[in-house]
């Protein structure tokens, strides 16, 4: 009979790791849920291309789900009770949310943490200059990019400008269909013989990432830089800003692309900023769909990971610890630092960050037995770091086993991977900084093709498994 298995087949199923697409493991119901979730995810990506916009959209969703700003409770001196939902925003660029559990906070919390910044191109403080009857904007790229990928594509401008009087102007140019866009020019092939002889890292330089921004001169023969004056006049008339205001601005150039389906079967998503917004969004939706929990569930979405998690909005700041201190303080009349320390020591975290999916075109930089595959579920990465695990966060075997069992018991499809060959390179996440607080942490995220490019690709089934994994962790890890 066809269903009779040999002893070898039985042993294989018992002893070997199963390498199978998550698409083959999900039910028809989950198949439908996968596509529904990914439509919401794509819509969110289109509205949240910067960390500020991600925080703004997060606050809207949180409020719609009954979340209260923790500052309101502090001011009113109200105590936390099980089931309450609270959030806090740090300088408009990082946000943390929590569902209060039945257990004392001293017993720890379940944390899923991701970052909401992505590689991009920022404007310099003094960006505007005129050359050859055109106006350009000087830039300083942010995070690890391949510079050549950012030329000759349509770019949009997002950000804020703080004016001389202290008022703030929000800027978003290039996203509507009728909006103007910006671009970075490149040299035509006919004259690029010298450029083509350079290494890829040198063909386009950092100082060469200049944004083309205008070419009509202001009609006044007594003005020297007529095109620059005309552009600044347009900005002044529309936004009330002057050139000096750009010094106190955060203006980011991001791809104009919207999130779209990829492939004949629409099984993948192509979009800018999926590192790490694919994990951040699924972690967010998972906690928004979580109501009552035994252990308090916390979602932390941070800034600045792409440049080392520095600054007061990055994972190395005290923002997250301060939030936990507030939770502890609002849960008892006898708060002490010991309670906070015990809370941290007993806490557990999934560092929700992406991994590099193995690409058959560039397979030589991957070690296939320890690589992540598109469509095989959420990726568990025991340790990060470069080469000899430099800068790594390395989860202990006990915690890896705990997470493994949790996922297996709840039908979460997962895989294990490293980031490429040992001597090829590597990378880090926010895991190491939370681990320094004496929290158990493991990296757990979605596999991505073309990572750090303007158009990254993920599998829809991996997006769904990320959501399922994070919700399972919030609710079921005890």
Residues 303 and 434 in one domain: yes
* Cα 450 off chain centre by: 15
- Answer yes or no: is 266 within a domain: no
For residue 73, give the nearest of 103, 54, 110, 98 by alpha carbon.
Answer: 98
pLDDT of res. 2: 55
Helix (H) or strand (E) holding 123: strand 120-131
Phi, psi of 143 (to 5 degrees): 85, -175
Phi, psi of 445 (to 5 degrees): -150, -165
Phi, psi of 104 (to 5 degrees): -60, 145
Domain span including residue 286 = 18-118+272-476
Residues 204 and 302 in one domain: no
For residue 429, give the nearest of 320, 349, 363, 339 by alpha carbon.
Answer: 349
Phi, psi of 308 (to 5 degrees): 105, 10
C-alpha to C-alpha distance for 128 and 62, rounded to whole angstroms: 39
Contacts of 40 by beta carbon, 8 Å cutoff, 6+ apart: 285
Residues 134 and 182 in one domain: yes
143-176 pLDDT, tens digit per residue, is 999 999 999 999 999 999 999 999 999 999 999 9
C-alpha to C-alpha distance for 322 and 71, rounded to whole angstroms: 12
Residues 89 and 151 in one domain: no
CB 309 within 8 A of CB 315: yes
C-alpha to C-alpha distance for 350 and 363, rounded to whole angstroms: 28
Residues 134 and 104 in one domain: no
C-alpha to C-alpha distance for 168 and 171, rounded to whole angstroms: 10
Which of 227, 255, 283 represents a domain boundary (last residue)? 255
pLDDT tops 80 at residue 101 = yes
CB 448 within 8 A of CB 355: yes
- Answer yes or no: is 349 within a domain: yes
Residue 39 belongs to domain with CATH number = 3.40.630.10
User: How many percent of the chain have pLDDT more than 70?
Assistant: 99
Burial class, 212, CB count within 10 angstroms (exposed 0-12 / middle 13-18 / buried 19+): middle
The residues that bridge with 342 in the sheet, in sequence order, are none
pLDDT of res. 17: 85
Task: Count Cβ neighbours within 10 Å for each residue of 403-427 and write b for 16 or more, e otherwise.
Answer: beebbeeeebbbbbbbbbbeeeebb
Q: Number of folded domains in the chain?
A: 2
Cα torsion at 447, 453, 457, 463 (round to 10°)? 50
Quote the pTM value. 0.96
Phi, psi of 203 (to 5 degrees): -60, -40
Comparing 427 with 50, which gets the higher pLDDT? Answer: 50
C-alpha to C-alpha distance for 153 and 122, rounded to whole angstroms: 16
For residue 114, give the nearest of 434, 455, 458 by alpha carbon.
Answer: 434
C-alpha to C-alpha distance for 308 and 51, rounded to whole angstroms: 15
- Answer yes or no: is 26 within a domain: yes
pLDDT of res. 77: 87
Residues 125 and 175 in one domain: yes
252-282 pLDDT, tens digit per residue, is 999 999 999 999 999 999 999 999 999 999 9
Specify the residue for token string 């106006």.
Answer: 135
pLDDT tops 80 at residue 315 = yes
pLDDT of res. 389: 86
Residues 321 and 210 in one domain: no
């Amino acid at each position: 009979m066809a269903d009779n298995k040999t002893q070898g087949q039985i042993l294989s199923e018992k002893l070997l790791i199963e390498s199978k697409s998550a698409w083959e493991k999900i039910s028809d119901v989950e198949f439908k849920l996968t596509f529904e979730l990914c439509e919401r995810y794509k819509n969110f990506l289109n509205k949240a291309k910067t960390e500020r916009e991600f925080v703004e959209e997060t606050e809207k969703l949180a409020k719609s789900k009954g979340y209260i700003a923790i500052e309101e409770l502090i001011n009113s001196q109200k105590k936390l009770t099980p089931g309450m939902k609270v959030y806090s925003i740090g300088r408009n660029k990082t946000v943390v949310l929590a569902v209060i559990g039945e257990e004392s906070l001293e017993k720890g919390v379940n944390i899923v943490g991701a970052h909401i910044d992505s590689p991009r191109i920022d404007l310099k403080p003094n960006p505007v200059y005129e050359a050859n009857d055109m106006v350009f904007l000087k830039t300083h790229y942010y995070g690890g990019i391949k510079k050549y990928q950012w030329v000759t594509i349509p770019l949009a401008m997002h950000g804020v400008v703080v004016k001389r009087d202290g008022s703030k102007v929000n800027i978003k140019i290039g996203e509507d269909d009728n909006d103007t866009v910006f671009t970075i020019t490149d040299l035509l092939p006919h004259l690029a013989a010298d450029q083509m002889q350079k290494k890829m890292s040198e063909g386009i330089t950092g100082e060469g990432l200049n944004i083309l921004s205008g070419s009509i001169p202001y009609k006044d023969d007594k003005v020297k830089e007529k095109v620059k004056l005309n552009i600044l006049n347009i900005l002044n008339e529309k936004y009330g800003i002057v050139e000096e205001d750009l010094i106190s601005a955060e203006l980011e150039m991001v791809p104009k692309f919207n999130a779209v389906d990829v492939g004949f079967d629409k099984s993948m998503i192509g979009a800018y900023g999926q590192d790490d917004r694919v994990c951040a969004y699924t972690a967010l939706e998972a906690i928004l769909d979580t109501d009552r929990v035994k252990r308090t569930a916390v979602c932390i979405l941070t800034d600045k990971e792409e440049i080392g998690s520095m600054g007061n909005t990055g994972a190395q700041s005290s923002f997250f610890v301060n939030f936990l201190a507030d939770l502890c303080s609002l849960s008892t009349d006898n708060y002490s630092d010991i309670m906070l320390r015990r809370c941290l020591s007993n806490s557990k975290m999934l560092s929700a960050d992406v991994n590099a999916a193995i690409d058959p075109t560039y397979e030589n930089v991957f070690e296939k037995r320890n690589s992540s595959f598109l469509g095989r579920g959420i990726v568990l990465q025991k340790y990060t770091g470069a080469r000899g695990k430099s800068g790594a966060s390395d989860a202990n075997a006990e915690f890896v086993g705990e997470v493994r069992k949790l996922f297996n018991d709840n039908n979460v499809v997962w895989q294990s991977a490293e980031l490429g060959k040992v001597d090829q390179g590597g990378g880090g996440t926010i895991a190491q900084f939370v681990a320094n607080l004496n929290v158990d942490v493991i990296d757990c995220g979605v596999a991505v093709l073309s990572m750090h490019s303007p158009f990254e690709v993920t599998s829809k089934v991996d997006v769904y498994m990320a959501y399922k994994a994070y919700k399972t962790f919030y609710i079921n890890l005890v």
